[in-house]
């Protein structure tokens, strides 16, 4: 169960961990990133169930919830809300770091992770999010969207939307399963599979330089090739950071620096369009 459950319990027994502006205990960022409504949808991929995010059951506010064994064919209608700065950088239920600028969501009973298509029944707008957290624990609400997902769906203004959610399965054979070493996943770029190490994002502060981490390699030659490719495509400053971890040297390719997330976001959107869907914000 995510650590932010405890924060919510101490704050109030009458509200959920989900938030909607202008809720005093949570809020939107001070600056609304330009173009965040165009953040690309999460791309469904085959992933193993999270070891820590799928207990048979758990209890919040005295009520017991049961985690589904399978999400196949699951649909649901109800109210969507969103959560933002209060939980940004905290751990989600499956041990990841909550990033309010990513297309993610929280659900009470779906296996973690799951991919869900969310339809705003008032507008017909559809988005796809990756469910990696638990919540919202508030009557009538079925899903808590990240800030970016809520912006794209049109939920920010009123704080909630009436939605239908439908579990989306990855296309068969489109992506390789994550049975390889835990620091590696396979992403599809230009109709070819490429191996890209996965890193936990560093929680961001309002001040300090921000980089966009695109990939990491054990080979300096491969890192240099990606660096040149990105410089040509983006016309931005690209650098290689050397990092040693567990006696292994990695060459991390990153774009930046930027003053803040707001100024970096358009480049992250562009990287998604180029096929680099796992680019991450990181501090120096």
pLDDT of 33: 81
Phi, psi of 227 (to 5 degrees): -55, -50
Instruction: Tell me the HSE value of 72 on the side-chain side, using a 13 A CA sphere.
Output: 2
Q: What per-residue string of b and e applies to 226-242 under the rule 16 or more CB within 10 Å gives b?
A: bbeebeeebeeebebee
Range(s) for CATH 2.40.40.10 in the chain? 4-165
Strands annotated E in the chain: 57-60, 63-66, 75-82, 104-106, 114-120, 126-133, 141-145, 161-167, 184-189, 192-197, 210-217, 238-245, 248-258, 280-283
Class of domain 184-283: alpha beta
Between CA 145 and CA 89, with CA 167 as vertex, the angle to 5 degrees is: 30
Q: Are 255 and 237 in contact (CB under 8 A)?
A: yes
Q: What is the CATH number of domain 4-165?
A: 2.40.40.10
How does 39-76 read in b/e, with b if 16+ C-beta sit within 10 Å?
bbbbbbbbbeebeebbeeebebeeeeeebeeebeebee
Residue 29 is inside which H or E element, if any?
A: none
What is the rounded CA–CA span in Å between residue 213 and residue 232? 17
Q: Which residues of the chain have pLDDT under 70?
A: 1-25, 171-208, 284
Cis-peptide, bond into residue 257, ω within 30° of zero: yes
Instruction: Work out the angle at residue 152's Cα, subtended by the Cα atoms of residues 238 and 185, and round it to the nearest 5 degrees.
Output: 50
Global model pTM greater than 0.75: no
Question: How far, CA to CA in Å, does 31 sit from each of 28, 182, 281?
Answer: 8, 35, 16
User: What confidence score (pLDDT) does residue 168 get?
Assistant: 93
Domain with CATH 3.30.70.1070 in the chain: 184-283
Tell me the C-alpha distance between 68 and 54, whole Å: 8
Measure the CA angle with vertex 266, ends 264 and 267; round to 5°. Answer: 70
Contact 92, 130 (CB under 8 A): no
What is the per-residue DSSP string for 190-228?
TTEEEEEE--PPPPP-SSS-EEEEEEEES-HHHHHHHHH
């Amino acid at each position: 169960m995510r650590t932010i459950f405890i924060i919510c319990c101490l704050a109030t027994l009458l509200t959920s961990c989900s938030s909607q502006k202008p809720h005093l205990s949570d809020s939107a960022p001070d600056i609304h990133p330009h173009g965040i409504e165009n953040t690309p949808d999460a791309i469904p991929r085959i992933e193993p169930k999270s070891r820590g995010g799928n207990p048979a059951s758990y209890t919040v506010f005295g009520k017991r919830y049961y985690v589904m064994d399978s999400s196949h064919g699951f649909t649901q209608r109800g109210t969507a809300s969103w959560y933002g700065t209060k939980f940004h950088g905290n751990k989600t239920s499956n041990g990841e770091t909550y990033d309010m600028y990513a297309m993610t969501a929280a659900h009470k009973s779906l296996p973690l992770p799951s991919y869900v298509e969310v339809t705003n029944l008032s507008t017909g707008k559809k988005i796809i999010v990756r469910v990696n957290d638990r919540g919202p624990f508030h009557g009538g609400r079925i899903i808590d969207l990240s800030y970016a997902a809520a912006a794209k769906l049109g939920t920010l203004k009123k704080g909630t939307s009436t939605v239908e959610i439908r579990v989306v399965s990855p296309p068969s054979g489109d992506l390789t399963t994550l049975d390889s070493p835990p620091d590696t996943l396979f992403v599809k770029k230009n109709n070819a599979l490429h191996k890209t190490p996965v890193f936990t994002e560093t929680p961001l502060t309002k001040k300090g330089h921000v980089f966009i981490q695109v990939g990491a390699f054990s080979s300096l030659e491969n890192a240099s090739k990606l660096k040149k490719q990105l410089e040509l495509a983006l016309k931005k400053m690209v650098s290689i950071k050397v990092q040693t971890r567990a006696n292994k040297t990695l060459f991390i390719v990153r774009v930046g620096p930027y003053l803040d997330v707001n100024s970096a976001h358009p480049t992250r959107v562009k990287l998604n369009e180029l096929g680099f869907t796992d680019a991450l914000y990181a501090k120096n």
